[in-house]
Amino acid sequence: MPQKYNQKCDTANLPELVKSFRPNKPKKINETRPIAMWTEKDVSDGKIVDAFVLILRTRGCYWALHSGCTMCGYINDARMEPVKSENLRIQMEKALERYSGEKVVKIFTSGSFLDPNEIPPDIQIDILKAFDDAERLIVESLPEFVTEKRLGEIRQDNLEIAMGLESASDEILERNINKSFRLKDYMNAAERLMKMKIPLKTYVLLKPPFMTEKEAIEDAVNSIIFASKHSSEVSVNPVNVQSFTLVHHLWRRGEYRAPWLWSVVEVLKRAKPSIGEVRLVSWPTAGGMGRGAHNCGICDGGVMGAIETFSLTQDLSAFESLECNCIDEWRDMVEIPSFNRFILQ
């Protein structure tokens, strides 16, 4: 019998519920090959440059193995068991064969680069040194692993740390996202990075489940302004529907819609004037598709292009000429009353 929404804010079963949608058996994976590699545009020293993106195959996020976030399906591409050190080195060699001296390098792991159970500390150092010539070298981590000891061991001039704060509301972190940490943990890690003079890039999530479009916009704007006080760059990540997640379950039942691209534009337009020189960007995954942030299908390409232009230039005029009949439907959606944190029972 299908589960139904209940207006009670009882989230006691959320950690188990999130994990319950995961497949029982992990798929077979070649741990000598990275998950993916590609190039894209980014900014370094105020100039638009090429960026090399590398997703290493590791054990995966420790929190996903324990429970996980409501929207995150990256564990589906992870090993779920420790990857041998020699195979991590083989992955690094394959990445270096593909690397062409791009000015920006982004290294992801579907988890935390600084987690020693994903990547042993000595290999962390070797990977970072291999890309020492890049102007910006960005790795991701949960705040649990951003310790002074670890930062002191891996510190180099081009290093930046990215953390997914998602929301500046502890209530949303707990009841909508099922995050592994709370706001104070992010702040403590941010203070350590500031003390070590290592730039912080913060991710803010747009529209986790159990939120209306209006609630999602308001929370994202507030979270960007909060995160900007600790960050050199804030990235708005609209939720995209990933398989074997609670969000995917709701989406299949018609009870979740990825955010409108108009909402992404609204968040960027409202937040940017309040954060000064801090860079604000958004690169919507699956943008313009049913599982990602999208509008009516007619204007999606133009709106996505404007979001990319703004992200590269920080010029809000990129949004001035945008128009489509579907903006009226979006405005109606923004007026829908609060969910009052509906939670599955």
Express as a percent the part of the chain with pLDDT over 90: 85
Q: With bands split at pLDDT 50, 70 and 90, how would you rate the model's confidence at 109?
A: very high
Taking residues 171-177, report their average pLDDT.
96
Q: With bands split at pLDDT 50, 70 and 90, how would you rate the model's confidence at 337?
A: confident
pLDDT at 2: 30
Spell out the domains of the chain, with CATH numbers in brackets.
5-344 (3.20.20.70)
Taking residues 280-285, report their average pLDDT.
97
- Which tokens sit at 169? 């509301």
Taking residues 110-131, report their average pLDDT.
96
Sheet holding 36-44, edge to edge: 36-44, 47-55, 104-108, 136-140, 159-166, 200-206, 233-238, 279-282
Q: Are 42 and 52 spatial neighbours (Cβ–Cβ below 8 Å)?
A: no
pLDDT at 12: 62
Taking residues 99-115, report their average pLDDT.
97
Three-state SS at 269: helix
pLDDT at 52: 98
Express as a percent the part of the chain with pLDDT over 70: 94
Taking residues 301-326, report their average pLDDT.
98
Find tokens 């079963």 and name the residue.
13
What residues have CB less than 8 Å from 289, skipping those under 6 apart?
A: none
Taking residues 316-327, report their average pLDDT.
97
pLDDT at 27: 72
Q: Which among 172, 213, 204, 193 is positioned nearest to 281, based on CA atoms?
A: 204
Q: With bands split at pLDDT 50, 70 and 90, how would you rate the model's confidence at 80?
A: confident
Taking residues 132-161, report their average pLDDT.
97
Helices and strands: H and E segment counts in the chain: 12, 10
| pLDDT for 321 beyond 70 | yes
- Give residue-wise pLDDT tens across range 204-230: 999 999 999 999 999 999 999 999 999
| pLDDT for 35 beyond 60 | yes
Q: With bands split at pLDDT 50, 70 and 90, how would you rate the model's confidence at 345?
A: very low
Q: Are 287 and 261 spatial neighbours (Cβ–Cβ below 8 Å)?
A: yes
pLDDT at 115: 97
Taking residues 68-81, report their average pLDDT.
88
Q: What is the mean pLDDT of the chain?
A: 93
| pLDDT for 11 beyond 90 | no
Give the Å distances, CA to CA, from 95 to 55, 60, 264: 9, 19, 32
| pLDDT for 129 beyond 70 | yes
pLDDT at 206: 98
Taking residues 283-309, report their average pLDDT.
97
| pLDDT for 173 beyond 90 | yes
